[in-house]
Amino acid sequence: MKKGSVAKKLSAKYSAGHPFETFMRILSYFKPYKGRVILAGISLVLNVGCTVGGTFMLSVIINDYIMPLATHAAGVTVADFALMTGVMATLYLVGALLHYCYNWIIVNMTTLIQRTIRDQMFERMQKLPIRFFDTHANGDIMSCYTNDTDTLRELMANGVPYLISNGLTVLGIFIAMMVINWLLTLFIVVMLVLMFFIVKYVGGKSGKHFVRQQKEIGVLDGYVEEHIEGMRVVKVFCHEDAEKEAFDAINGKLRFASRKAHTYANILMPILGNLGYINYAITAIAGAFFIATGIEIGGIMNFGNLIAFLQFSRQFSAPIGQMSQQMNSILMALAGAERIFALIDAEPETDEGYVTLVNADEDEEGNLVEAEGFTGKWAWKHFHKANGTTTYVKWKGEVEFEDVTFGYVPEKTVLKHIDLVAEPGQKIALVGSTGAGKTTITNLINRFYDIEDGKIRYDKINIKKIQKPALRRSLGMVLQDTHLFTGTVRENIRYGNLTATDEQVEEAARLANADAFIRHLPDGYDTVISGDGSNLSQGQRQLLSIARAAVANPPVLILDEATSSIDTRTEKLIEKGMDRIMNGRTVFIIAHRLSTVRNADVILVLEHGEIIERGSHDELLAKQGRYYQLYTGAFELE
Amino acid sequence: MSKKKKKKDMNVLGALAGCVGEYKLASVLTSVFVVFEVVLEVFIPIIMSQIIDVGLEEGLSEYTFTLQLGASHTPIFTVHSNTDFIVICGVMMVVMALFSLLFGVLSGKFAAYAATGFGSNVRQKIYYKVQDFSFANLDRFTTAGLVTRLTTDITNVQMSYMMVIRVLVRAPVMLALALGMAISINAELAIVFAVALPVIVVGLIVGIVVVFPRFTKMLKKYDDMNEITQENLIAIRTVKTFVREDHETKKFKKISALVQKLQFSAEKILVIAMPLMQCVAFACIIAVVWFGGNNIIAGDMYYGSFAAFLNYIMQILMSLGMVAMVFVMLVLSRASAGRIAEVFREVPDIADNPSPAAESVADGSVDFENVDFSYSEKSDVLNLEHIDLHVKSGEIVGVIGGTGSAKTTLVQLIPRLYDVDSGAVKVGGVDVRDYRLNTLRDAVAMVLQKNVLFSGTIRDNLKWGNPDATEEQIEHAARAAQAHDFITSFPDGYDTELGQGGVNVSGGQKQRLCIARALLKSPKVMILDDSTSAVDTATDAAIRKGLREEFGSTTVFIIAQRISSVQDADKIIVMNDGKIDAVGTHEELLAGNRIYQDVYYSQQRGSDEAAAVYAEEEVQA
The 10s digit of each residue's pLDDT in A292-327 is 777 777 777 777 788 778 778 877 777 776 776 677
Interface test with A, best of B19, B132, B246, B303 (most A CBs within 10 A): B303
- Stretch (H or E) spanning A488: strand A487-488
A350 occurs within a structural domain = no
Type of residue found at A400: E
- pLDDT for B118 equals 95
CB contact under 8 A, A111 and B82: no
- pLDDT for B105 equals 94
B72-78 average pLDDT score? 72
Q: Residue B294: list chain A partners with CB under 8 A.
A: 78
A349 occurs within a structural domain = no
Q: Is A576 helix (H, G, I), strand (E, B) or coil?
A: helix
A147-172 average pLDDT score? 83
B308 and B46 in contact (C-beta within 8 Å)? yes
Name the residue facing A288 among B56, B248, B441 (closest C-beta): B56
The 10s digit of each residue's pLDDT in A22-68 is 889 998 999 999 999 999 989 988 988 888 888 788 878 888 888 88
A51 occurs within a structural domain = yes
B21-27 average pLDDT score? 91
CB contact under 8 A, A568 and B55: no
CATH topology of domain B366-594: Rossmann fold (3.40.50)
Question: Measuring CA to CA, which residue among A351, A491, A496 is closest to residue B243?
Answer: A496
Question: Measuring CA to CA, which residue among B93, B269, B336 is closest to residue A288?
Answer: B93
For every residue of B155-190, DSSP letters joined together read HHHHHHHHHHHHHHHHHHHHHHHHHHHHHHH-TTTT
B306 and B50 in contact (C-beta within 8 Å)? no
A80-108 average pLDDT score? 89
Show the DSSP H helices in A455-593 as ranges.
468-473, 489-494, 502-511, 515-520, 538-552, 568-582
Query: How far is it, in rounded angstroms, from Cα B46 to Cα B186?
Result: 12
Mean of the per-residue pLDDT values of chain A: 83
What residues have CB less than 8 Å from B546, skipping those under 6 apart?
A: B479, B480, B481, B482
> Taking 60 as the threshold, does the pLDDT of residue A443 lie above it?
yes
CB-neighbour burial class of residue B591 (10 A; exposed 0-12, middle 13-18, buried 19+)? exposed
Residues A100, A183 share a domain:
yes
Indicate the angle between helix axes B154-185 and B24-50, nearest 10 degrees. 30
Query: How far is it, in rounded angstroms, from Cα A319 to Cα A311?
Result: 14
B265 Cα distance to chain centroid: 33
- pLDDT for B389 equals 92
pLDDT band, residue B489 (cuts 50/70/90): confident
Residue B431, strand partner residues: B426
B406 and B380 in contact (C-beta within 8 Å)? no
Residues A408, A335 share a domain:
no
- CA trace torsion A581, A584, A588, A589 (10° rounding): 50
B267 to chain A: closest CA residue: A107
Domain boundaries, chain B: 22-345, 366-594
Q: Residue A145: list chain B partners with CB under 8 A.
A: 226, 229
CB contact under 8 A, A100 and B124: no
- pLDDT for A285 equals 80
Lowest mean pLDDT among A117-126, A259-268, A476-485: A476-485
Alpha carbon distance, N-terminus to C-terminus of chain B:
48
CB contact under 8 A, B104 and A145: no
> Taking 50 as the threshold, does the pLDDT of residue B588 lie above it?
yes
- Pairing state between β B579-584 and B72-79: unpaired
Residues A207, A168 share a domain:
yes
Size of interface A-B (CB pairs under 8 A): 426
B30-33 own/partner pairs: CB under 8 Å, 24+ apart:
B30/B107, B30/B110, B30/B111, B30/B114, B30/B165, B30/B166, B30/B169, B31/B107, B31/B165, B31/B166, B31/B169, B33/B103, B33/B104, B33/B106, B33/B107, B33/B110
CB-neighbour burial class of residue A576 (10 A; exposed 0-12, middle 13-18, buried 19+)? exposed
Residues A238, A113 share a domain:
yes
Domain of residue A609, CATH code: 3.40.50.300
Strand order in the sheet with A602-607: A475-478, A556-560, A586-590, A427-432, A602-607, A610-615
> Taking 70 as the threshold, does the pLDDT of residue B322 lie above it?
yes
Residues A375, A436 share a domain:
no
Indicate the angle between helix axes A34-61 and A78-127, nearest 10 degrees. 150
Distances (CA, A) of A173 to A53, A54, A629: 9, 11, 88
Residues A165, A26 share a domain:
yes
- Pairing state between β B555-559 and B525-529: parallel
B240 and A472 in contact (C-beta within 8 Å)? yes
A87-113 average pLDDT score? 90
- pLDDT for B124 equals 93
Residues A410, A289 share a domain:
no
Q: Residue A348: list chain B partners with CB under 8 A.
A: none
Higher pLDDT, A191 or B363: B363
A588 and A558 in contact (C-beta within 8 Å)? yes
CB-neighbour burial class of residue A373 (10 A; exposed 0-12, middle 13-18, buried 19+)? exposed
Type of residue found at B300: D
- pLDDT for B618 equals 43
Query: How far is it, in rounded angstroms, from Cα B93 to Cα A284?
Result: 10
- Report field, pTM of the whole predicted structure over 0.90: no
Last residue of a domain, one of A315, A344, A373: A344
CB contact under 8 A, B450 and A311: no
Interface test with A, best of B137, B215, B236 (most A CBs within 10 A): B236
- Pairing state between β B72-79 and B366-373: unpaired
- pLDDT for B54 equals 80
Question: Measuring CA to CA, which residue among A330, A320, A202, A221 is closest to residue A261?
Answer: A202
Q: Is A416 helix (H, G, I), strand (E, B) or coil?
A: strand
Residues A445, A475 share a domain:
yes
Strand order in the sheet with A453-458: A415-422, A399-406, A453-458, A461-462
What residues have CB less than 8 Å from A141, skipping those under 6 apart?
A: A125, A133, A343, B233
pLDDT band, residue A635 (cuts 50/70/90): low
- pLDDT for B502 equals 64
Question: Measuring CA to CA, which residue among A206, A217, A263, A205 is closest to residue B26?
Answer: A263
> Taking 50 as the threshold, does the pLDDT of residue A13 lie above it?
no
- pLDDT for A236 equals 82
> Taking 90 as the threshold, does the pLDDT of residue B269 lie above it?
no
- Interface confidence (ipTM) of the complex: 0.80
A41 occurs within a structural domain = yes
Q: How many CB atoms lie within 10 A of CB B352?
A: 13
Residue B558, strand partner residues: B398, B528
Q: Residue B82: list chain A partners with CB under 8 A.
A: 292
Type of residue found at A167: G
- Pairing state between β A461-462 and A453-458: antiparallel
CB contact under 8 A, B56 and A225: no
Q: Is B65 helix (H, G, I), strand (E, B) or coil?
A: strand
**Domains of chain A: total:** 3
Name the residue facing A267 among B108, B272, B282 (closest C-beta): B108
Q: Residue B275: list chain A partners with CB under 8 A.
A: 96-97, 99-100, 103
Q: Residue A95: list chain B partners with CB under 8 A.
A: 278, 282
Q: Quote the domain boundaries for residue A570.
A: 399-637
pLDDT band, residue A521 (cuts 50/70/90): confident
Give the single-character DSSP code of A466: B
pLDDT band, residue A569 (cuts 50/70/90): low
- Stretch (H or E) spanning A104: helix A78-127
pLDDT band, residue A72 (cuts 50/70/90): confident
Query: How far is it, in rounded angstroms, from Cα A379 to Cα A395?
Result: 5
B299 to chain A: closest CA residue: A70
What residues have CB less than 8 Å from A245, skipping those under 6 apart?
A: none
The C-alpha R_g of chain A, in whole angstroms, comes to 37
Q: Is B363 helix (H, G, I), strand (E, B) or coil?
A: coil
B268-288 average pLDDT score? 85
A29 occurs within a structural domain = yes
Residues A187, A256 share a domain:
yes
Residues A126, A13 share a domain:
yes
Type of residue found at A101: C
B86 to chain A: closest CA residue: A285
Name the residue facing B97 among A61, A274, A307 (closest C-beta): A274
A367 occurs within a structural domain = yes
Q: Residue B56: list chain A partners with CB under 8 A.
A: 288, 291-292, 303
CB contact under 8 A, A133 and B233: yes
Q: B447 φ, ψ to 5°?
A: -100, 110
Alpha carbon distance, N-terminus to C-terminus of chain A:
23
Q: Residue A486: list chain B partners with CB under 8 A.
A: 224, 227-228, 231
pLDDT band, residue A19 (cuts 50/70/90): confident
Q: Which of A350-359, B333-342, B409-418, B597-606 holds the top average pLDDT? A: B409-418
B413-424 average pLDDT score? 91
The 10s digit of each residue's pLDDT in B516-529 is 999 998 899 999 98
pLDDT band, residue B503 (cuts 50/70/90): low
Lowest mean pLDDT among A570-579, B249-258, B354-363: A570-579
Question: C-alpha angle B441/B445/B450, rounded to 5°?
Answer: 110
Distance from the A602 Cα atom to the nearest Cα atom in chain B, whole angstroms: 17
A302 Cα distance to chain centroid: 60
Show the DSSP H helices in B413-494 as ranges.
437-443, 458-462, 471-480, 484-489
pLDDT band, residue A196 (cuts 50/70/90): confident
Residues A512, A374 share a domain:
no
Strand intervals (E) in B346-450: 366-373, 384-391, 396-401, 422-427, 430-431, 444-447
B571-577 average pLDDT score? 89
Question: C-alpha angle A144/A147/A153, rounded to 5°?
Answer: 95
Architecture, CATH, for domain B22-345: Up-down Bundle (1.20)
CB contact under 8 A, A259 and B90: no
Residues A429, A290 share a domain:
no
A12-23 average pLDDT score? 67
**Considering chain B, what percentage of its residues have pLDDT values greater than 70?**
91
| A480, HSE (Cβ side, Cα atoms, 13 Å) | 11
Q: Is A165 helix (H, G, I), strand (E, B) or coil?
A: helix
- Pairing state between β B72-79 and B396-401: unpaired
pLDDT band, residue A382 (cuts 50/70/90): confident
The 10s digit of each residue's pLDDT in A284-295 is 788 877 877 777
- pLDDT for B6 equals 54
What residues have CB less than 8 Å from B438, skipping those under 6 apart?
A: A238, B352
